[in-house]
Every structure is written in C-alpha cells, then in structure tokens.
Amino acid sequence: MRLAVIGGGAAGFFLAVNAAQAASSLEVVVFEQRDRVLSKLEASGGGRCNCTNTFAGVKDLKTVYPRGSNLIKSQFKRFGPQDAFAWFEGRGVPLMITADQRVFPRAQDSRAVSGCLKTEAERLRIRVRTGCRIDRPESLLRDGGGDFDFVAVTIGGTPGARGCVPSLFAFKLAGGAPDGLAGVSVPEVVASIPASKLSARGALLVTHEGFSGPAILKLSSYAARELASCAYRFDLRVNWTGGRNYDEVSGLLRDLARAHARKAVPNASPFGLPSRLWAHAVSRATACGEASIAGKRYADLSKRDFARLTEVLTNDVYAVSGRARHKDEFVTCGGVPLDSIDKTTMESKQTPGLFYAGEVLDIDGITGGFNFQAAWTTAYAAATAIARRAGM
Ligand SMILES: Cc1cc2nc3c(=O)[nH]c(=O)nc-3n(C[C@H](O)[C@H](O)[C@H](O)COP(=O)(O)OP(=O)(O)OC[C@H]3O[C@@H](n4cnc5c(N)ncnc54)[C@H](O)[C@@H]3O)c2cc1C
C-alpha cells in the first residue's frame, strides 16, 4: 500500500517515519513544495528547537492550547510529551530540560532533531520529493484518480487560508515604547484586554516598538481571533504588580511610605519593580497641572497621589496600534476544523483515506515547545491509524 505525505515539515516527517516503521510494507513518499525539508524546524527556537515541554505544572491544557486542548488531552494517552522525549532520546538525540520546563536537544542545535528525522526517513526508505507542491491532495487518492491508498496533509498553517489568523506576536504601541523603558523586563505582570475577559500572567519585556515577553505572547494567543477582528488596534491593560488588587496595592504602598518616609518617591520602588519602570509609573501618576510626584518624598504624598499611583500600578492602559512579529516563534490560529475529522485517527470525515496532522489543524499552543508537541502527537495518531489500515 502507498502513503503520500504532503508537507516535509515536523508533522510530515514524524508521520512518515512512524507509519513506515509500524507498517514495513507501506511505501511512503513525502512531497515538499520547497527545495529543503524541515526548514521551519531548523529555524525554530532561535536555531535550538524547543521540541517539547515536560508539561510539569500545566494543570489545565486549555492554558497552553487555547485551541484544540480536548483533542490533545485524549491523544496524550497514546503519545504524550514523555513519549516524544523517549522517541528522540531512543534515536540518539539527548535532550535537556530548562528551569521553565522547556525541552531542547542537549546539543542546543535544531539540526540534532531534523537530522534524526532525516536519518530515520532514509533508513526506512521513505522517498522525499522536494520542489513538489500539491494543491489537491484528494487527487492523489485512488478514488480521486491517483495511485495512493492514503494521503496525509501536513502543510502547516497559512495566515489567511481557511480563516487562519496569526498567533504568538508582540504588541506595537501607538508612539512606540514609553520613553526610556526599552529593554526593561518585569518578572510578573497581568496583561489583559478590557474589552474582553482575556488576560495572561507572566513576564513582560519592553521592546523598542512596544511590549513582548511571555505574558504578551500568551495574551496574543488567547485573543488571536478577537485581535484580528479589531485589526490589532485595542486597549491593553497592565497590572504591574503581578495581579494584586487595588486595595492590596494601596495598603502596601502606604506601608512602603511609612518605612521610607524621608526618601524621594522615585528612589524606593515597590514590588521589586525595576527602577526605570517605577520612574515611568510615577511620572504617569502625576496629574496634569499638579506638582510632580517624582519631586516628592513619601511622607509628602497626598491621598490623591496614593490613589493615582495605585491606579497606574494596577490598571495602566496603553493603546496598541498593531502587531510585531516575535522572532522566536509564530503560529497560526485556525485551520482544518476538528469536527471535520475523526479525533482518534485524524482522518477526514468527508474523504476516507485523507488524514491531517500538525499545524494545518485548528490546534495551536503558546510558546514553550507546545506546538511541536501537538505536531508529534497528531502525526503519531494519524501514522498509527494508517499503519493499522495498511495491515501492519
Ligand atoms: C520562527 C519560528 C520558530 C518556532 N519555534 C518553535 C519552537 O521552538 N517550539 C515549538 O513548539 N514551536 C515552534 N514554532 C512553531 C512550529 O515550528 C510549528 O508549530 C511546526 O513547525 C508545525 O509543524 P508542521 O509540520 O505542521 O508545519 P510546518 O513545519 O510549517 O511544515 C509544513 C511544510 O509543508 C510544506 N507545504 C505547505 N504547503 C504545501 C503544499 N501544498 N505542497 C507541498 N508542501 C507544502 C511547507 O513548505 C512546510 O515545509 C516556531 C515557528 C516559527 C515560525
């Protein structure tokens, strides 16, 4: 029997290799439109390929897969992150785990992962045809006039195609980054969109254009559709205190003022905030036409000064004017609807013999190795279903 895999990326190679391994009689051909296979994987993770995550501390898969978490949850019973870890290590790719639970090849080189997939494909005599774009996958099936028994579509995500929109991007602020703040990193903020209920917690990095970092990338993923529909122009709220509420922050500011009564306000920052960010907050808190808070000592702060500082720390609103590409990772939200496939085998309900895996499906994750894991998991599911049908 014959399997055509369309797309020579992470999901395509993983599917091809696992299917060929499980059904030795299966003849597998990979069609890749470019002249190189696995190019995105090789560029991934800044050239290091964050190939999975331990998922330690992930209590709810929805928080890391805004779309597709139910399918991923059920498929993890068959092929989860530990299986992916063992799969690569078992094929000579030693892996390492970072403090934040991301998994990389120990060589710190994505070519360790792509090399393993290419070697396995060669060993299993999988044919790879580069420079070969397939626009009508169904036409390769025997029913469609072709000479393949199975076709797997693993063409990744294309913004604009099938209602796909970008996910995992940084935010540009109208007028660029606040003066003097570029390069500042705040360990824990809560970023939210007042017009929706969506929010994300994590570190925030101020770039030249605006805001990036884990909290922002997560929010861009959670709100991918909402932000596309408003053309990436929206108000962003930042709670610089890691989500503490107004009353708590107000009380803590007064405690700080008592402890540092004689200090100039800019010289003692609360909540471990970087001094440049605190200076920025102090200047934003000064109302137009009133005496600058920056020129006062803590002992001299008025009730209104405390109220404004608290407001800026807990509810600082910025106008976002667009999205900026995040250099390390970028995926699409949307794709083949999950209700159009069998969620165990990844086979199309409309076209028997046609399978999907990877980012082409309406599944996407936040940064941290979750997107490659979704590719391995869905590709494995399709590969085993195909191999079973091919009579492994
Ligand atoms: C810069 C960058 C860094 C990233 N870093 C990470 C990371 O560290 N960790 C992580 O988990 N995720 C990362 N991602 C996301 C991850 O790369 C994708 O989720 C993953 O590659 C999806 O695999 P895939 O095989 O489904 O799609 P792809 O890797 O996109 O592969 C699809 C392949 O299909 C080919 N193709 C498309 N259409 C056709 C056609 N009609 N005919 C033939 N071939 C076709 C394409 O040329 C491509 O080679 C990153 C993404 C980017 C852009």
Phi, psi of 358 (to 5 degrees): 85, -155
In this predicted structure, the answer to whether residue 286 has a pLDDT above a threshold of 90 is no
In this predicted structure, the answer to whether residue 55 has a pLDDT above a threshold of 60 is yes
Q: 361 CA to middle of ligand 1, Å?
A: 12
pLDDT at residue 391, rounded to an integer: 84
Q: Which residues contact 206 (CB under 8 A, 6 or more apart)?
A: 177, 178, 181, 182, 183, 184, 185, 277
Calculate what percentage of the chain has a pLDDT beyond 90. Answer: 91
Q: 41 CA to middle of ligand 1, Å?
A: 6
pLDDT at residue 195, rounded to an integer: 86
Strands 27-31, 2-6: pairing is parallel
Tell me the average pLDDT across 6-33: 97
Q: Is 26 in the pocket of ligand 1 (CB under 6 A)?
A: no
Nearest ligand 1 atom to alpha carbon 38: 49
Q: 362 CA to middle of ligand 1, Å?
A: 14
Q: 355 CA to middle of ligand 1, Å?
A: 17
Q: 7 CA to middle of ligand 1, Å?
A: 9
Nearest ligand 1 atom to alpha carbon 133: 42
pLDDT at residue 392, rounded to an integer: 57
The model's pTM: 0.94
Q: 344 CA to middle of ligand 1, Å?
A: 22
What is the C-alpha to C-alpha distance for residues 10 and 168, in angstroms, rounded to an integer? 19
Alpha-carbon distance values, 53 to 137, 152, 295, 362, 392 (Å):
32, 25, 48, 20, 31
What strands lie across the sheet with 354-356, from one edge to the other?
Answer: 127-129, 27-31, 2-6, 150-153, 354-356
Q: Is 10 in the pocket of ligand 1 (CB under 6 A)?
A: yes
Residue 290 CB neighbour total at 10 angstroms = 12
Q: Is 156 in the pocket of ligand 1 (CB under 6 A)?
A: yes
Q: Which of 5, 44, 58, 330 to mutate to test the pocket of ligand 1 (most atoms within 8 A of CB)?
A: 44
Query: Mind listing the pLDDT tens digit for each residue in 313-354?
Result: 999 999 999 998 777 678 999 999 999 999 999 999 999 999
